[in-house]
Structures are given as C-alpha cells and as structure tokens.
Structure 1
Amino acid sequence: MNTKKLLLSLFIGLSLTACSSTQVIQEPMVPIASSEVCCSDFSQYPWIQLATTEDIDFQLDSDSPIGHFSDGNSYFNAFKLSDRSGKVQLRLSSLMINDSVVAPKLIALDHEFNVVNTTSLDQFDIKPSDAFTRTQFQLNFQLDATKTPYVIIYSSNEYLGQSIKVKHPARIRAEELGEPMPIVTDPTYAYERFGKLKLSIKTLSLQAHKQAPQQPKVAIKSAQPETHTFYKKAIAEAVKTNDIPKALALLEEAKALGIKDAETIFVNALENKK
C-alpha cells in the first residue's frame, strides 16, 4: 500500500469513529475537602424539624452544609420527623432543570443516629413533565418515625460526571395516545452536586406518648434541736470572723431545714459587729 492509500485509509477510519461515537467525556468532579465537612458525626448535624404533613422545596447549593458519607463528602439537608408521627408516607423528587439534576440519596437513622435504611437511584422513577411540574426523579416510600425519626438527603457522588438521557415529553404523550412520533430531541441531563429537590410528608398514623408519672414530693423533715444550735452558732461565728460568704451559705442551708430564726441570728450578728 502506497503512502496516499495509507493516509486515505486512516482518514476514513477516523471519520467513521467520530460519527459513530455518542459518548460525552466530561471533566471529573473535584472532591470536596474533608476540612469543609461540618460535623464529625450524624448526631451533630443541623436538623430541620418537620410537621406531621408538609411539602418542602429546598436547594442543595454552596450554602448547604457538607457531610461525610460512605460514598464521599457531599452537600446535604437533614430532617427530623414529627414526634407525633408514626407511619409516614414520603415522596422525594429531584427536578431536572437547565440540563442538570441531582442524583439524590436518602438515609434514615434511628434514635441513636445509626443508619437503618439507604435508598439508591434505581429505586427512583422518572416522572415526565406536565402542565404542573418538570421532569424529575421521584421516589415514594414509607417510614416508621417511631424507629427512624431522622432523614438525611444528599447529592450522591456515585454519578457525578455522568449524564442521563430521558424521553422527550412529546414523545411520551405520542406513545400514550398512539399518535405519530414528533421530531424532537430527547434531553440529556448531567448529574451535578447542586439542584432543586422537593420532600413531601404525610403522616398515616400518630404515635401516642405516655405521660411520665409525677414524682412524689419528699417531705422535709424538721431539724433536730442540736441542728438548730449548730447553725445558729456557726452563722454567728462566721459573721464574727468576717466570713460573710460562709455565713450566707449557712443561712441558706438553715432556711432549707426550716430553721426560721436563722435569719434573725444573721442580722443580729451583723448589728453586733458595728
């Protein structure tokens, strides 16, 4: 093969390779430094108190706290379920906006802040956009708030630098209605650390709390005569030696024991010093 044929073969081969490749190579994400982590353990996380029924829109952004998780350091929000809630229905949504989306992860913790449940991205459904909302990842699940009262939501590092292509809403509607396929481009969303999420909580059952029994009042016993004598002498002696702090301390103890004339002893001792 002469030089011209060799160069022509190489050019055709490179051209075919470029045309057939659809992979987008993105810049790798720079890991978050451990020095930026807010807390050493889950018990120290800043917890957001939830009501029994509530819809919360929130952002994971540069103002969000950073925590250390099994798959790396990530931005998060932490929530505490209502003390009145028993069984709870939760819906977590991650909205696909401006060509990006958060791959969310949720972990549920018990009263001692031990991890009990962890979700993964394959548990989420892709809900196409409609007249009321954007295309989004969505997960519906139940928790028992009596066993797992704490929930943390963060952006998983597992998918950073990757992307997902979803069906265009017009294609989905055409498929459902049996209409001709529109000429549209399926959107692609890159997995990012930051994004908009929504958490909806609905309490299905309430938990009752037993009233703590009242502690019986302990009757204060009357001080014995020799105790009266001791405190009266001790108060007078403390004042005489100008140890007023000690005299006041003895006076408080005497009052607690029901020695009613202790204050008179203290006042008289002060007068006698003049």
Structure 2
Amino acid sequence: MTEIGDFLQSRRARIRPAEVGLPEGVRRRRVPGLRREELAQLAGVSMGYYTRLEQGAADGASDSVLDAIARVLRLDPTETAHLRRLARPGPRRPAPPEVLRPSVANMVAAIRDVPVLVLGRRFDVLAWNRLCRRVIAPNVAFDATPFNVIRMIFRDSAAREIYADWESKARDNVAFLRVSAAKYPGDTELAALVGELRTEVPEFAAMWDEQPIELCATATRVYRVPGVGELEFTSEMLALPDDEGQHLAIYHPAAGSATEEILRALAAETAGVV
C-alpha cells in the first residue's frame, strides 16, 4: 500500500455507510467503513481513477477531485491539506539544513516568566529557556540542544512520569510528525527518525499506523514537575514565517491559577542559574 492509500483507507474506515445515506447492505463488510466503489460514486469520480489514486498513480489530481473526496470523508482542513500533499508530492529534494536565527535565540532567552522553546521540523528543540527545561524535561541538560522531543517521549521512561496525559501527548506529537513527514519528503533524517521509532518502539508504530494528522496548535496539559507537583499549562504553537518548518511553543498558565503562582517562584529560581 502507498502512503496516500494508507491514509485514504484509514479515513474510509471512519465513515459508516448510513452517515452518507447508503444502506449497510446484507453482506458482511470485509473492512469497516466505505468501500472504494462507494467513495468513488459519492465523490463523482470513476472507480478506476479512485483506485489509481490510492495506488499513488493518479498524477495531477485536481483540487476539485481532492476536495470532493475530502468532503465525502469529512476531512478537516489539516487533513485535506495533507491529502493534497500526498496526491501531488513533487520531487524529493534534499531538505535544507535547520538553522536557528540568532535573533530567535535571543528572543527565547529574553523570555523568563513562562516556558518557551523553538521546535524544528523533526521535533528537535533548537532553543529553550531555563524555565521550559525545568518544567518539561528536568532530566535533560540545559545545553543539550538540539535534542529530539519525539525520541524523548517514546524512549525516555521519565517522560511518562512528567506528562500526566502521556498517551494524548504522544499521539498529538505523532500526528504533527506525520504532517511534517509529508511536507518534507526529502528530509532523510526525518525519515530515519520515523524508521527508527517504527522499528524499535511498538507504541510509536501503532500510533503512526493509525494515520493521525493534526497540527496541535493549541493544547492544555498537566506536567508533573519533580519537587513541585502538578502544573497545568496551555501551549500555543506559532509558525515562524521566516524559518521554514520551525515553530515557537509558548506554555502559559491560567490567570490566577495555582500554576501561575508556582511558576513565579520557579522563574525566580531559574533566573539565578548561570
């Protein structure tokens, strides 16, 4: 099966025939969800064309065709953009090197009252402030950048203690990594990271094969910080427009919360660290 075939099959499986006005039928379905011929009919394309699309052989699929398929499958905007990338991948050019601009590094260092970091397209931490390190990865040396968040989540047992909702955090990161892998098909280091984790970490492989697709721009999570207790943050992922594939993540507590009060103490503590 191709990447686009795996993705479309996973989304066909989510749709019950009754949801799109089709009878369940008297024959037992071999797989859940819509059959290829049913999707093709609902999207207004021939069965042969749709089959070639799942096989990765329908070059130049138009926006109208892809939008019709997305509409039947009830894809959200992120999933629709992902479908377009898979249908029209383009040449596999080598990915450009990941470079952190000095002004971005200085901005991160200047923020001292909330955790903040910069992530690259492979989920490498390219920069972070001391408060961020204290909250999300207290077992990692501050100067150990870049280090990989995905690898830490799945391979470092401490991560399961730090993230109160580890499974949700892990799945969201896999979903974001899938978006990045489709966007940068020529990034051999990213492909090697995915291959390593699929081969060596069964939980990652299972989540990856479920085809989650999400930008995870906003999330609220609880962190178990050693020596402090549980802290709740809302994180915002902001794309850096002048730095392709890089995102600024800011973690902020609710106003007036216990986390906000504790964070002030932590900020004062980390500000004194050289």
Give the structure-2-normalised TM-score.
0.24
Higher helix share: 2
The structure whose residues are more often strand, as a share, is 1
Structure possessing the higher relative contact order (Cα contacts under 8 Å, 6 or more residues apart): 1
Higher Cα radius of gyration: 1
